[in-house]
Amino acid sequence: MTVSVKLLRHYIVYRLITFFGFLVRRLPVHTALSLGERAADVVYRLVKRRREITMSNLQAAFGDEKSQRELKSIAIQSYRNLGKSFVEFLRFPLLTRESLWQLVTVQGIENLNRAMELSGKVVVFIPHLGNHELMAPIYSVLLPKTAAIAFPLKNPYLNKMTNEYRGMFGLELIKKQRATRHVLRALRAGYSIGFVADQNAGREGVFVEFFGRLASCARGPVAMAIKTGASIVFSIDIRQPDDRHLVIISGPIELELTGDSDRDVAHNTAKLMAQLEVYIRQYPGQWMWQHNRWKTQPDPQWQEKRNQRGQTAISL
């Protein structure tokens, strides 16, 4: 496929999504969210490969704890949550710094303030639970200087729109390319950095137990906190029955350090993932099961080569 044909296809998708956004911004909020649910139901039925990954993940996580009927119900809830979240994201242009709090309640602002008092900068670990996109405006309002790593979309038109929406209230976006250097510089300048870091991190990730299976996890949140002395907090969004949102901010997490960098990153990342697992078990229909979470498994040969090179790369 030529570049011009790809761009044309990207543009058509972009125009369809912007039209959908135009529509949902003019509907009453509950009608718009219902439309998002119906769209998610269609995607669940039509996109077989993603549905299979979702069910495989659920089976791997819960095994015999839940029946196939229960797993299917969780899968549908997860899709519908994503559909609602997509609609809410497309409605971001309607948000103001004041109207945001009609949609969101924050529990633990005192924890965030304490974390700032401790180090003057905060690493925020954010999972794909509830509507994680709401964290961009929330933390931009709560903190004076905020940034997050932007993983680029393949569609350049949607990528530009998405970054504009995320940066509406001042969030600075750090490009994934050479992000480590920029994140370090930002933290040392007193920025607080959000890491949406609960997905598969590939071979460079640190492998810790998650739902009883080894999962590759990003080293970035813990490694950056250790390297810069930043406080680290765990923050999640939970969708409420009335479709408002409760954002919970943990107290500053005390990192357990031994001086062995790899061991410290692994141990403290495992603590974060264990905390996430507790919340997912409470709200299984609100996590993004559609991602192939356990795709990467430990490769002893690769790890040996990494150790021989003295590899210190941080997977963000």
User: What are residue 144's phi and psi, to 5 degrees?
Assistant: -70, -35
pTM equals 0.93
Within-domain flag for 315: no
Whole domain around residue 285: which residue ranges? 3-309
**Domains: count for the chain:** 1
Residue-by-residue DSSP string for 42-111: HHHHH-HHHHHHHHHHHHHHHGGGS-HHHHHHHHHHHHHHHHHHHHHHHTGGG--TTTHHHHEEEE-HHH
Give dist(CA 42, CA 40) in Å, integer: 5
Instruction: Find the angle CA(137)-CA(124)-CA(152) to the nearest 5 degrees.
Output: 65
Within-domain flag for 229: yes
Within-domain flag for 61: yes
Within-domain flag for 65: yes
Within-domain flag for 133: yes
Please report which confidence band the pLDDT of residue 300 belongs to, taking 50, 70 and 90 as the band edges.
Answer: confident
The model's pLDDT over 18-52, given as tens digits with 9 standing for 90+, comes to: 999 999 999 999 999 999 999 999 999 999 999 99
Residues in the chain: 316
**Six-digit token pair at 124?**
């925020």
Within-domain flag for 170: yes
pLDDT at residue number 44: 98
Residue-by-residue DSSP string for 226-269: HHH--EEEEEEEEE-TTS-EEEEEPPPP-----S-HHHHHHHHH
- For 285-305, what is the mean pLDDT? 87
- Residues of the chain with pLDDT > 90, as a percent, come to 88
Within-domain flag for 100: yes
- For 153-158, what is the mean pLDDT? 95
pLDDT at residue number 21: 98
**Six-digit token pair at 232?**
């680290």
The model's pLDDT over 66-112, given as tens digits with 9 standing for 90+, comes to: 999 999 999 999 999 999 999 999 999 999 999 999 999 999 999 99
Residue-by-residue DSSP string for 105-140: EEE-HHHHHHHHHHHS-EEEEE-SBS-GGGHHHHHH
* Buried/exposed 74-91: b ≥16 CB within 10 Å, e otherwise: bbbbbbbbbbbbbbbbbb
Within-domain flag for 314: no
Q: How far is CA 34 from the centre of its chain?
A: 23
